[in-house]
Structure 1
Amino acid sequence: MLNKRILFPLGAVAVASTFLVACGGSDSDEQQVQMGTFTLAVSDAPVDEADEVWACFNAIELVGNDQGSQVFTIGEDTNTIAANDVCKDENGDTIPNTRGINLLEFTGSASENLLSGVQVVAGTYGQLRLEMANGSYVQVGTESIPLSVPSNELKFDSVTIDVAGTSSYTIEFDLRQALVNPVGQAGYFLKPRGVRLVNDLAVGHVEGTIAESLLINTEGCTVAPADTSDPVASVYFYSGADLAMDTLADIGGAEENEPYTSAGVFFDGATEYSFEVGFVAAGDYTLAWTCELNDDPEADDAITFNGTQTITVNGGEAVTTVTFSD
């Protein structure tokens, strides 16, 4: 079993939805139908120990708004992304109408469209469903480890298409919280926890650094690792300003404040130790950093934080920068 040092701001998959306004025609005796254009994309944040994380997508479904169920199947509907041959069944045959995407290719604010330019009726939909297929897996070295999604479906509530402008959403897969490798069970599981739907107009991106001198002077921290793909520290995000350090839980912890997301801190091979988190909902956050990297998402671990800082994230996909220093 792999060491579960899974760090993701997803990080981790993000699904972006963009709606553009148009109007359907009608005569004076008929109700005018307001239409919108629907685009859905995926994005992600990195996962330690994994070289690739392949997710198999099958369809996107909108439910409600007096429209029943509208399903857009990969490779069938002209506005969907093309199917590929990544997703295989138990016999090694390609599963039809699937798109396999390596989530690690779309980290931070990067994304990949699953659905582009579909006309749907404007209004509020009670649910958005992301239909998954079999065949997902995590690649570690030469080993392919199966990745399962319960019921092969992820559900999200309340998507509103605004007739007055553009409405954009992102489904963010925070893999450090959502991706688990339970003891005694074969393979990885992608759980709904840590997967969230955010409005792109109300999210920002965070970029930060930790001073090398701070790492040098902190017991247990590593500097200038030979392998720059290994994190040297982790930064945890908690909703709210100036939270007391002893109230901050690890992932799966029992303390008062649960992490909103977390990210790995990586050495650039020269002088900088940086981290990045995309699609963070606007608001105030307490950030806490640690050099303890073994955080089991299924357990209450004793993580020691070395310092905190409060930041304010602004909407409109603005970038907030933060520095931890002596």
Structure 2
Amino acid sequence: MKAATFGQVTVAALTASLLAACGGSDNNDDSVSQTATFNLGISDAPIDAAEAVVVCFNAVELTGQGQPIQYEVGVDVEVPAENDLCRDSNGDVIANTIGIDLLQFTGSEQTQFLQDATIAAGNYGQLRLVMGEGSYASVDLDGEGTTTDVPVSVPSNELKLDGFTADAGGNLNYTAEFDLRQGMTNPVGQEGFILKPRGVRLVDNSSVGHLQGSVSEELLLNETSCEVAPADLTTPVAYIYLYEGVGYELSALADIGGSEEQQPYASTAVYFDGASSYDYELGFVSAGEYTAALTCNGNDDSETDDDISFLHSVDVTIEESNQPQTVDFEPVTTQ
């Protein structure tokens, strides 16, 4: 797992994903045709500004079929048992809460959060993640190698995501993807981080893919803003930003919170492997055409329009697959 000294970037390049199960079926058995099976897992992509991000979950709630349906930690068998990662200010374990360190489940990996839940077929207006108290990020505030646990809070203790349709007899797949570079902020004058729902999106897991690749050292050496072969392998050397659509000029690509026309879909950090490779990964990306852009500027505050200079871009077609596809960044050659 990658981690790095905490600098001006609030929390950089984390994507966390939650899987739900839903989908179509040809089952004509009337005894099961009015229900669907629902499963939920959690996953993320590497982060470059923390050694741990423990998010405390209390329940999953579905709305749109009469009264909200809620599956609570420590109460319902469909969710995992509570653990001792979430504690109050006195150090006591918070009941009915499970803490999940998102950095333990990167890329296409996940941990099961809701399993074999039977839900009524129909339209659901929202999927809500009900958060418990005690969430925190472990960061190196002074760059001396000692981490401090900084509280993470969620407005109203709920993350409200988009809805979905559960087909009769079906088995649906969705991913709620957390991009903390967009959703987590550290307001001036306020202790700790705030996790906002704008950095979370719900995507159909039957139509997503995963992206990985490397950046050529030669390409990095051509740019004075890039660091090559750092001694500290937890230090990002560059960043990959992903934009929906292709054929964009680099000048049209916005940073997170930027004013340019094309807003980023997701982003992640590039790390040196200690030998010869500079690698990145992005999980749970909706299938489609994208522009992947490279920058060595890491100071991207999600609340401001920062001066981010993109060095190179590649057009990418993300295909539906459980296996990551590889897209590498190489120097542009001219004939």
Give the TM-score band, short-chain normalised. over 0.9
Matched, 1:167 2:207: no
Rounded to whole Å, the distance in 1 between the matches of 2:201 and 2:290 is: 17
Matched, 1:17 2:20: yes
Matched, 1:135 2:134: yes
Residue number in structure 2 paired with 1:218:
223
Aligned pairs for 1:14-163 within 5 A: 14-19=17-22, 34-65=34-65, 67-140=66-139, 141-163=146-168
Contact 2:36 2:169 in 1 (8 A): no
Contact 1:203 1:318 in 2 (8 A): no
Contact 1:125 1:158 in 2 (8 A): yes
Contact 2:151 2:193 in 1 (8 A): yes
Amino acid at match of 1:53: V
Task: Give the C-alpha shift of residue 321 in structure 1.
Answer: 1.4
Residue number in structure 1 paired with 2:238:
233
User: What percent of counterpart residues are identical?
Assistant: 47
Contact 1:18 1:167 in 2 (8 A): yes
Task: Give the C-alpha shift of residue 90 in structure 1.
Answer: 2.5
The one of 315, 320, 324 equivalent to 2:320 is 315
Contact 1:19 1:167 in 2 (8 A): yes
Deviation readout 1:209-243 (Å, 9 max, x if unpaired): 11111111111211111011111000111111111
Structure 1: gaps spanning 5 or more residues: 27-31
Task: Give the C-alpha shift of residue 47 in structure 1.
Answer: 2.3
DSSP-derived class of the 1:145 partner: strand
DSSP-derived class of the 1:193 partner: helix
Matched, 1:176 2:181: yes
TM-score (norm 2): 0.90
Rounded to whole Å, the distance in 2 between the matches of 1:7 and 1:317 is: 25
The one of 311, 322, 332 equivalent to 1:306 is 311
Task: Give the C-alpha shift of residue 5 in structure 1.
Answer: 5.8
DSSP-derived class of the 2:226 partner: coil
Pick which of 280-289 and 86-95 moved more: 86-95
Pick which of 206-215 and 139-148 moved more: 139-148
Rounded to whole Å, the distance in 2 between the matches of 1:43 and 1:246 is: 32
Task: Give the C-alpha shift of residue 23 in structure 1.
Answer: 7.7
DSSP-derived class of the 2:310 partner: coil
Amino acid at match of 1:264: A
Contact 2:83 2:98 in 1 (8 A): yes
Deviation readout 1:14-73 (Å, 9 max, x if unpaired): 1101137678856xxxxx8511111111112222221101100000011113x4211100
Residue number in structure 2 paired with 1:266:
271
Rounded to whole Å, the distance in 2 between the matches of 1:24 and 1:137 is: 47
Task: Give the C-alpha shift of residue 2 in structure 1.
Answer: 4.4
Amino acid at match of 1:42: I
CA RMSD of aligned residues (A): 1.8
Contact 2:38 2:171 in 1 (8 A): no
Rounded to whole Å, the distance in 2 between the matches of 1:242 and 1:318 is: 26
**Which is strand-richer, 1 or 2?**
1
DSSP-derived class of the 1:213 partner: helix
Deviation readout 1:129-179 (Å, 9 max, x if unpaired): 110011001112331111000000001122222236432011110011111
Note closer, same or farther for the CA distance 1:248–1:180 as it changes in structure 2 (3 Å cut).
Answer: same
DSSP-derived class of the 1:160 partner: strand
Rounded to whole Å, the distance in 2 between the matches of 1:221 and 1:176 is: 20
Contact 2:15 2:282 in 1 (8 A): no
Matched, 1:284 2:283: no
TM-score (norm 1): 0.93
Contact 1:215 1:221 in 2 (8 A): yes
Note closer, same or farther for the CA distance 1:257–1:111 as it changes in structure 2 (3 Å cut).
Answer: same
The one of 249, 252, 258 equivalent to 2:254 is 249
Structure 2: gaps spanning 5 or more residues: 1-5, 140-145
Rounded to whole Å, the distance in 2 between the matches of 1:7 and 1:281 is: 21
DSSP-derived class of the 2:182 partner: helix
Note closer, same or farther for the CA distance 1:23–1:58 as it changes in structure 2 (3 Å cut).
Answer: farther
Rounded to whole Å, the distance in 2 between the matches of 1:317 and 1:281 is: 12
Contact 1:47 1:176 in 2 (8 A): no
Task: Give the C-alpha shift of residue 207 in structure 1.
Answer: 0.7
Deviation readout 1:110-134 (Å, 9 max, x if unpaired): 1111110011112221111110011
Contact 1:53 1:103 in 2 (8 A): yes
